[in-house]
Structure 1
C-alpha cells in the first residue's frame, strides 16, 4: 500500500507477522505544521496575523478519501490553540474535533498530533483555530478531499483547481476584538473583505483561454454573508461541502459564513483580458467589496477589461430562492461506489424533533446570545473528557431544552442535549431576529429539507423536499424565518452545534449534542474510538495522575 507523506509517496510497511511484511489498509499522510504570528498588511495596515508554516492563509490540506491523516501541530503563539476541521465528519472520533469542549488545548510552546481520516468523504472544506477568537487573526486554510481513482466524477476534470478563501476582516488584532466582546460590546462593521488573505486587486488567478477551472470557494470570515461573482463569466455549481449537486449556472452565488462551494468556470471570453472577481457583503449597508484578478494568459492580454462590474442582488428573496434551487445530484457517486442518492432519507420516520431558536439579550449589562434561552458558558474541563472520565459537576445532559420555552428566564450553562444513537432526527433552526444566521453541526452532513418565513410549525413538513435535498454541514437561516434539516445520528460522541457567526458563538450561541444509546457514556465507550494515546489532560482531570488512555 502506498502512503502519502507531506506531499511525497513512500511505501510504508506497518507490521511483521512471522517474517511476512504486511501493509496498512489505507494510506497514511503526514503533515507538520508550525502555528505562529507573522506581520502582514492585507488592508494596507501592518498587523499581527496567525500563519501556518509562515503562510497566511495556511497551506491547503489536500488529501484523498479514507487516507489516514497525521497532522503534527506546533503552537508558537502566546496563547492556547486548537484547530478544527470544518465539515470533516471524523467518524466515531470526536476526540480529534479540535473545539473547546472536546479537546484540552495545545499550550504555547507545545505540540500535539491530530490523527483522523475523511472517511467516505470528498469535497471542499476548510480548517481554522477555534479558541480565543483566533480565527479573526487568520490560521485558516482550505481542505480538499479528492475521491479515490475508482470513483468517477460527474464532470470532466478541470485544467486546474484553485482554493478561493473569502471573508470579512478587521484591522484590529484578535485579542483587542475579544476584549471588546468580553466587555459587553459588539464589534461593528469590518474594515474590508479579503480574498486569499489579500485586499482589493491583490490576489490573482492565471488561466488559459478556452479552459475550464474549478474554484473551491469558502467563506472563512467572521460574520457576513458574501456574494461571489466573476465579471463576464458564469459559475457552474457542482459541489457543496462534500455533496455533488445538480449542475446549475449562476451569475452570482451567496456564500454564507462557514459555507463552501465548488464551481466550474470556463474561460470563454473572446477578448483576452483581466476580469474582476468580486466578493461583497449581503444584507448590510454600506456594502463592502473585496476583489481579485482573473488573468488570461496570452501575449495579447489587453489588461483590465472595460464595462460595468456585475452587481450583487439587493433582496433577500432571491437568496432564499437560490438556496432552494441547490439540489443533490442523484445520479453521481461521491466517496463510495453506490450513488449518493440511493439513501432514501425521505422514507425514514422521524424519531425525534429538536427546535433551536436563537435570541439576543443583554444580561448583567453585557451583550449575550442564547439558544432556547440558554447562553453557553465554557467549562474548565472539556465536556467530552469529563464525560469519559465520569467527572461530576462539569456539565449536565439536558441543561438546555430541546424546544424554545415561552417566557423562559435566560440562563448560563455548558449546554448539552442528548440524542439517541442511530435515531433519525429533525432539527429546526428558528430565527426570530432581523439578522441572517448561519448554523453548523460538527460530525455530520445533514439534509437541508426546508426553509420558510415566519415561525415553524409541524404543518411545514408538507413543504419539505424529501427526495433530493442537498447534504451539507452548514446552513443559513434567513431573518424571521426557519430552516429544517434531517440527519441520522449514526456518529457517536459529543458534537458541537454552533453559530458560524464567530461574534455570536463567542457570546453564547452554541451547544453540544451527546450521541449515545442512553444518558450515560457506557455506549460511547463501546462504539466510539478510544481516547488517543497522546490525550492531554486539563482542568479537574489534572488530578487523575494514574489515568492512562
Structure 2
C-alpha cells in the first residue's frame, strides 16, 4: 500500500501522502506526520514556551475533502502527556478518535499515536487544538478545512483566494504559572493581548489583488475572550459557520466567541492602499486589540504609506454591548436553498416538525469544593479519573463514571463527580444552557452540530419555545450563552459514542465545567454501540483499562 501513495501539497505547503482504495475510489486517504514540540516565541515582546507542530506556531493546515480518511500520526516530544481534539469535526461513528481525556488515553512523552477518522458532511471551517489541562493556552492549534466535492456547488462564486485567520487572546505567563493561579483558587488575570495568526501587533498581513474576492476562515482559538473581527473600509459577507452555509448578509464587524469558526467573503474593491485588520476584545476591561494589515498588490506598503492613518480601534458605536451581540447572533441563519456535502438543500431537514423526546437543562455555577474554587454543571465539578470513560464503558469497568439525568438535581452542596448523561440513539433532544454568571459562556458538543433555536435574557421556561426560530436556525457546534440568559439548541442524536460537552472558556473547563453525553442503543447501565465503529487496533489503554484488551472486538477503524 505504501508504494502507491501520492504526495499532495496543501495550501500552506504541508506535505501529506494519499492512498486510494481500489474498491472505493471516493475515499481518499491522507497521511500526515506531526511532531509536537516546545518552541519559544515572543508575539507580544515577552518570550514564552509555546507548543509547535512540525516547528510551526500556529500549526499546519489540515486540508480535507468530503469522504477523505485522515491518518494523523502525532509524535509527542513534550515532557507531558498530550492529546489533540478536532473542534467541530463530527467524527462520525468514531468517538474513539475524538482526542479528549474521556475518550482517549494521552500520548505519553516520547511516544506517538495515529488518529484515523473520516470527514463526511461537515463542509466548512474548523480548527484543532490540544485538549489536556491548559495546553491550549500555549498554542498547538491550527486550521481545518473540509472542502465540498467538485460535483457539489457552493452558494457563492468561487473566491480568488482562501485564507485561514486564527485569532485569540494571549497570555505572556507560562502555562505552569496559569495552572498555579487556578490551583490556588485565584482567577486568571486579564490576557496581555490579542494575536492574529500567532503574531503580535501590526505583524500579520494579507495581500489582496484589486477586483478579486477572498474567503477568510476566521477561528477564535484563544483561551477565554470573545472577539470582534473587522477590516477597515471593507464589508464582511458571512457565508458559513462551522460547516453550515449561512444566509448571506453583510456586516461591518462580526463577533467570534471562544471556540467558534466562520467564513466571510471580502471584496477587494477599495482604493489600492493599506488597510487594517482589527480584532478587539469584547466584554472585558481594559479593551484589547490585535491589529494586522491588508495590502493591495502593486499598492504602497504599510511601512511606506501614511494613507491609512492610525488603526480605527474605537470605530463602532455601542460595539461592546451584550444586547448588540445577541441581536447580531440572531441574524445568523441557515441558507435553506444551498447544499453542503450532499446534493439536497441544507433546509431539507425540517427540524421543527420533529417532536422533542427529551430536554436536557444545564446550569453553570461556581462553588468552593474541598477548599478550592471550582466551576460546576448542575452542581457537579467534572473530575477526570485517569481512565477514559469510553474505555470504561467498552470494557464494563465499574465505578469510573456516574450516569446523571441531565437536569439540575437536589443536592446538599456542590461536589466533584465524573458525570455522563445517558441518551438514546436517534432521539431528538433539546439542550438548554442556563448561564447564571455575570460573564459570557461558550459551549461545544463534540460529535455533533445542533440547531440554535433560541436565546434570551432571564430564566428559560417551556413557554419560551414560542420565541424559537423553527425555520432557519443556524446549525453549528459551538454556541455562546450571554450573562443571566439562556440558549436552547436542538440536536438529533444520530452519532453513537461518548461525546464531550464542554465550556470553551479554558479556565472554566480546567475548573470542571464539562460533562459527557453517551449516545447508544442500550440502556442506562450498559451501552450497546451497534452502529459505532469497532475499537481501533491501535487504541491506547490506561488507568483501570490497562491490560483489558479484547481482541475479538477490535476493528481497523474507518475505511
Q: Which residue of 1 aligns with 2:321?
A: 315
Q: Which residue of 2 aligns with 1:200?
A: 201
Q: Which residue of 2 aligns with 1:170?
A: 171
Deviation of 1:319 after TM superposition, in Å, equals 0.5
Q: Does 1:430 pair with 2:431?
A: no
After superposing the two structures, state which structure 1 stretch, 442-451 or 174-183, moved more.
Answer: 174-183
Q: Flag the 1:50–1:6 CA change in 2: closer, same or farther, 3 A.
A: farther
Between the aligned partners of 2:549 and 2:291, the Cα distance in structure 1 is 54
Between the aligned partners of 1:448 and 1:468, the Cα distance in structure 2 is 9
Deviation of 1:365 after TM superposition, in Å, equals 2.7
Q: Which residue of 1 aligns with 2:403?
A: 397
* Matching of residues 464-483 of structure 1 within 5 Å: 464-483=468-487
Between the aligned partners of 1:215 and 1:180, the Cα distance in structure 2 is 36
After superposing the two structures, state which structure 1 stretch, 520-529 or 480-489, moved more.
Answer: 520-529
Q: Which residue of 1 aligns with 2:280?
A: 280
Q: Which residue of 1 aligns with 2:357?
A: 351
Between the aligned partners of 1:407 and 1:99, the Cα distance in structure 2 is 28
* Matching of residues 443-482 of structure 1 within 5 Å: 443-482=447-486
Between the aligned partners of 2:7 and 2:391, the Cα distance in structure 1 is 31
Q: Deviations over 1:430-471 (max 9, x none)?
A: 011111010000000000000000000000000111110000
- Would the aligned equivalents of 2:522 and 2:529 in 1 still touch at CA under 8 Å? no
Q: Which residue of 2 aligns with 1:181?
A: 182
Q: Which residue of 2 aligns with 1:212?
A: 213
- Would the aligned equivalents of 1:356 and 1:427 in 2 still touch at CA under 8 Å? yes
Q: Deviations over 1:79-120 (max 9, x none)?
A: 001000000000110000000010000000000000001112
* Matching of residues 23-422 of structure 1 within 5 Å: 24-270=25-271, 272-300=272-300, 303-304=305-306, 305-306=308-309, 309=312, 311-312=315-316, 313-398=319-404, 401-405=405-409, 408-422=412-426
- Would the aligned equivalents of 1:4 and 1:29 in 2 still touch at CA under 8 Å? no
- Would the aligned equivalents of 1:185 and 1:366 in 2 still touch at CA under 8 Å? no
- Would the aligned equivalents of 1:388 and 1:521 in 2 still touch at CA under 8 Å? no
Deviation of 1:523 after TM superposition, in Å, equals 5.2
Q: Deviations over 1:525-546 (max 9, x none)?
A: 3221111110101011114367
Q: Which residue of 2 aligns with 1:17?
A: none
TM-score normalised according to structure 1 size:
0.95
- RMSD (Å) for aligned C-alpha atoms: 1.9
Count the aligned residue pairs.
Answer: 540
Deviation of 1:3 after TM superposition, in Å, equals 7.3
Between the aligned partners of 1:30 and 1:10, the Cα distance in structure 2 is 5
Q: Which residue of 2 aligns with 1:497?
A: 501
- Would the aligned equivalents of 1:6 and 1:31 in 2 still touch at CA under 8 Å? no
- Would the aligned equivalents of 1:159 and 1:213 in 2 still touch at CA under 8 Å? yes
Q: Which residue of 2 aligns with 1:535?
A: 539
Between the aligned partners of 2:305 and 2:379, the Cα distance in structure 1 is 55
Unaligned regions of 5+ residues in structure 1, if any? 15-20
Deviation of 1:408 after TM superposition, in Å, equals 4.7
Between the aligned partners of 1:480 and 1:3, the Cα distance in structure 2 is 54
Between the aligned partners of 2:191 and 2:51, the Cα distance in structure 1 is 18
- Would the aligned equivalents of 1:425 and 1:488 in 2 still touch at CA under 8 Å? yes
Q: Aligned to 2:347, what secondary structure does the other structure show?
A: helix
Deviation of 1:178 after TM superposition, in Å, equals 1.6
Q: Aligned to 1:494, what secondary structure does the other structure show?
A: strand
Between the aligned partners of 1:322 and 1:483, the Cα distance in structure 2 is 14
TM-score normalised according to structure 2 size:
0.93
Deviation of 1:355 after TM superposition, in Å, equals 0.6
Unaligned regions of 5+ residues in structure 2, if any? 10-14, 555-559
- Would the aligned equivalents of 2:403 and 2:524 in 1 still touch at CA under 8 Å? no
Q: Flag the 1:83–1:308 CA change in 2: closer, same or farther, 3 A.
A: closer
